[in-house]
Amino acid sequence: MSENVPDELHVARAHPVGANGRPIRKDEIEIPERGLYVESWMPERRSRRRPLLFVHGELTGSWIWERYLSYFASRGWEGHALNLRNHFWSATTDISVVDFNDYLDDVLAVLERVGYSAVVVGHGMGGLLALKAAERHAVGAIVLLDSELPRDLRPPVRPHELREIPDVYGRDHIGWETLPEKVQRDNRDLTIADIVRLQHLFGQKPHESGLVEREIREGIAIDRARLTGIPMLVVGAGLDGTASATGAERLADWLGGVYEPFGAHSHYGLVIGESSFQQVADGVRAFLETHRM
């Protein structure tokens, strides 16, 4: 068991084999008072490596980190992938009134259980949540995968753009309510099987907060002074425009972090692509090992 997570919060599951053939354990953490469910993949033997907390972006959940969880657990890291409220296995709520600070509270609650030395890995919206959480909770390092940009790096948003965002939205709002072949044109690193799986797990019903997206578009302020001394890796994707490689490079410079571009990867290909995720995971692992995480 993790030294940072009380035994009563773990529920032992199967003993699958990891990406490189080493056995791993699947556990889970539940925070009943918040209705949060955290999927945990643990190395078979206890390790001194820092625990990893994976924070998903819009419309997704712990499921998007499955390949990362297997990859890192089989190499000695315990990984915890939370589900924000109203996502995947966490409790449902009225998502139309959920704001960015509500999601931030979810991340902080899980950080309290995982421990002060955790490395926070955020994807898309999860990147902003990782940065904001690190202002208020000590972390070992931060890894940002095609992160949304903070206020200081965003262009002014136009009022009509905010009005066009529905209170609750689903996969149609992000252009994924179409034929897999059409999606693949903008996500060439994803296989058709990857795309079909993503479309299925995005769900058919809208379940993401439009209020949170409006707040992100208007700009979430990040206090860089509170992040001083934290090792940071900023990964940029080059195939789609969710958060361009140019934006990722600017973010790395602004934060004083390490920048690593993946020009042949899409936003989701960085994390879930069957044939593309491992290059990124290898880069993240090299960063962690360099900083002795």
Q: What DSSP element (H or E) covers 143? A: strand 141-145
Domain count, the chain: 1
Q: Which residue has the tokens 């206020």?
A: 151
Residue 79 lies in a domain: yes
User: What CATH number does the domain containing 200 carry?
Assistant: 3.40.50.1820
What's the pTM value of the predicted model, to 2 decimals? 0.92
Report d(CA 195, CA 75) in Å as an integer: 27
Q: Which residue has the tokens 């979810």?
A: 106
Report d(CA 63, CA 198) in Å as an integer: 10
Percentage of the chain surpassing pLDDT 70?
91
pLDDT, average across residues 229-236: 97
Q: Which domain holds residue 285?
A: 7-290
Report d(CA 90, CA 33) in Å as an integer: 11
pLDDT, average across residues 96-119: 95
* Whether residue 168 has pLDDT greater than 50: yes
Instruction: Tell me the average pLDDT of the chain.
Output: 91
Residue 2 lies in a domain: no
Residue 1 lies in a domain: no
Residue 251 lies in a domain: yes
- pLDDT tens digits, one per residue of 260-290: 999 899 999 999 999 899 999 999 999 999 9
Residue 131 lies in a domain: yes
- Among 23, 112, 71, smallest CA distance to 120 is for 112
Report d(CA 64, CA 81) in Å as an integer: 9
Q: Is 208 exposed, middle or buried (0-12, 13-18, 19+ CB in 10 A)?
A: buried
Q: How confident is the model at residue 11 (pLDDT cuts 50, 70, 90)?
A: very low
Record the tokens describing residue 121, joined without a space: 């890995």
* Whether residue 12 has pLDDT greater than 50: no
